[in-house]
Amino acid sequence: MPLQIIVGAQWGDEGKGRIVDWFAAQGDFSARYNGGDNAGHTVTVGSRIFKLHLIPSGIIHPQIVAILGNGMVVNPHTLFDEMDMLRQAGISVSPERLRLSYAAHLITPAHQALDKALEAARGKGNLGTTGRGIGPAYTDKTTRRGLRLADMLAPDFCERIGDHVAEANRTLSMLGAPGLDPAPVCEQYREFAGRLKSHIADTSLELHAALQAGKTVLAEGAQGTLLDIDFGTYPFVTSSSTTAPGALTGLGLGLDAARDARVIGVVKAFQTRVGSGPFPTEVFDDLALRLRGTGEHPWDEYGTTTGRPRRVGWLDGVLLKYAIRINGIRELAVTKLDILSGLKSLQLCTAYRRDGKLFTDLPFGPADLSPYEPVYEELHGWREDVSAVRTWADLPPAAKTYLERLTGLAGVPVRLVSVGPEREQIVNHP
């Protein structure tokens, strides 16, 4: 299947990196289409744990060409750190392997300062952003004063960076935050431009040619459906199109590429969220600690980018059904099933109740979930450790029932079940 879109079906951190890495073994191109270094995608290969913020998760496989698409916002500082980390692990990030769209936007220290100042100004009602400058960079993009990667090649780039910092300083001053000295930013970005030049390309053209030649392109979503700028729990969302259609605009692909696309939704076996915003199935106290973990394992629920503890809860079938529709998901990859082992019973949210009425679809999407109360179906838990299970037949009966119920709610099949972070800890359910 030429275009495969791997998209988060919840609030991010579903395990997209881990699933992309699995598909990338058979892939040719691995491409990120949205967001920036607010993302944190983890790939575990034996004792090595790769935390990728910008570079697509397929990069670990040597035959892959990695693409940062036009829909992204790129902080070169993070990019160079990540390139160094990969080089040290013996993974090539040569210009032939790592291609950046000329139309992707740049993130600068001024965007980061604005992100933090805006969050401070929101006070208690803050969004809980990652502080990476994502919102301000997309704001500059939509107000048409952003800096694109191609601008790094222009002779007046330094001047333009200077104007950008001066403009940001006016807003920072209105917010009561200190401004930035443009000179060191210009200097640093001029140096970045020299190092990035050979990676900048028309990646839309390259992906188009690849698809025409029958190559497999893996489009990797960052964040998740419920953080999408249009379809998420607005305003508690990120600033990009995280959903599967965003893969087309974010990579410069036309609708012909979508015709045969395989859309895989990644869903964690329970629900998590980091940052502010509604979360109807959230749990607290001992159960929350049990689902989150204490931080002793690398997979415990603490943000890959910010280290913040993630909020946790029961799987929300109403929001999953919504994600299936908005993305056109045709199959699911369920992750972290192993974490549910040992729980006596499980709750699965199958509907919402409001004023005595049941809802499985919401009149205005997930924008305002506060009037709704989740309706749960209780299912048996299982005692067995599933982390060594490799076939569907070997899963405990209660685990199969849980996955089948989830399939029933979603209306699409579960194709993959991840039972641990390592490459081989996966059950393929063809």
Which residue out of 21, 28, 37, 41 is catalytically annotated?
A: 41
**418 contacts ligand GDP (rule: CB under 6 A):** yes
* Residue 331 · residue 264 · CB < 8 Å: yes
CB of 89 to ligand GDP, least distance (A): 16
Contact segment (CB under 6 A) with ligand IMO among 124-132, 157-165, 178-186, 380-388 equals 124-132
Distance CA 404, CA 238 (A): 32
CB of 111 to ligand GDP, least distance (A): 21
**10 contacts ligand IMO (rule: CB under 6 A):** no
**275 contacts ligand GDP (rule: CB under 6 A):** no
Q: Does 41 qualify as catalytic in the annotation? A: yes
Q: CA dist 79 to 62, 101, 264, 316, 386, Å?
A: 19, 14, 27, 34, 36
* Residue 157 · residue 151 · CB < 8 Å: yes
Strand-pairing partners, residue 347, are 378
Sign of torsion, CA 385 388 394 398?
A: positive
* Residue 108 · residue 185 · CB < 8 Å: yes
What is the DSSP track for 376-391? EEEEE---S--TT--S
Q: Does 230 qualify as catalytic in the annotation? A: no
Helices (H), 175-261: 182-196, 203-212, 245-251, 255-259
Distance CA 401, CA 230 (A): 34
Which one of 45, 85, 127, 367 is in contact with ligand IMO (CB under 6 A)?
127
Count of residues engaged in binding Mg ion, rule: CB under 5 A: 3
Distance CA 111, CA 325 (A): 34
Contact segment (CB under 5 A) with Mg ion among 70-78, 199-207, 298-306, 358-366 equals 298-306
Distance CA 414, CA 336 (A): 14
In the complex with ligand IMO, which residue's Cβ is closer, 11 or 314?
Answer: 11
Distance CA 109, CA 183 (A): 12
Which one of 304, 335, 350, 425 is in contact with ligand IMO (CB under 6 A)?
304
Which one of 8, 35, 40, 246 is in contact with Mg ion (CB under 5 A)?
40
* Residue 152 · residue 127 · CB < 8 Å: no
Distance CA 259, CA 105 (A): 28
Length of the chain: 430
Q: Identify what 233 binds: Mg ion, ligand IMO, ligand GDP, none; CB under 5 to 8 Å per kind.
A: none
CB of 42 to ligand IMO, least distance (A): 8
CB of 38 to ligand IMO, least distance (A): 4
Contact segment (CB under 6 A) with ligand IMO among 57-65, 121-129, 199-207, 385-393 equals 121-129
Closest CA to 403 of 330, 361, 348: 348
Closest CA to 72 of 95, 56, 89: 56
User: How far is CA 136 from its chain centroid?
Assistant: 18
Count of residues engaged in binding ligand GDP, rule: CB under 6 A: 23
Interacting residues of 208 by C-beta distance below 8 A, sequence separation 6+: 252, 253, 254, 257
**128 contacts ligand IMO (rule: CB under 6 A):** yes
**304 contacts Mg ion (rule: CB under 5 A):** yes
CB of 85 to ligand GDP, least distance (A): 15
CB of 30 to ligand GDP, least distance (A): 13
Which one of 10, 11, 13, 161 is in contact with Mg ion (CB under 5 A)?
13
Binding mask 33-62 for ligand GDP (x = CB under 6 A): -------xxx-x------------------
In the complex with ligand GDP, which residue's Cβ is closer, 110 or 267?
Answer: 267
Binding mask 266-285 for ligand IMO (x = CB under 6 A): --------xx----------
Using CB under 6 A, which residues numbered 14 to 43 contact ligand IMO?
A: 38-41
Return the residue matching tokens 């892939």. 27
CB of 38 to Mg ion, least distance (A): 9
Which residues of the chain form contacts with ligand GDP (CB under 6 A)? 8, 12-18, 40-42, 44, 298-299, 304, 335-336, 338-339, 418-421
Task: Give the catalytic positions in this structure.
Answer: 13, 41
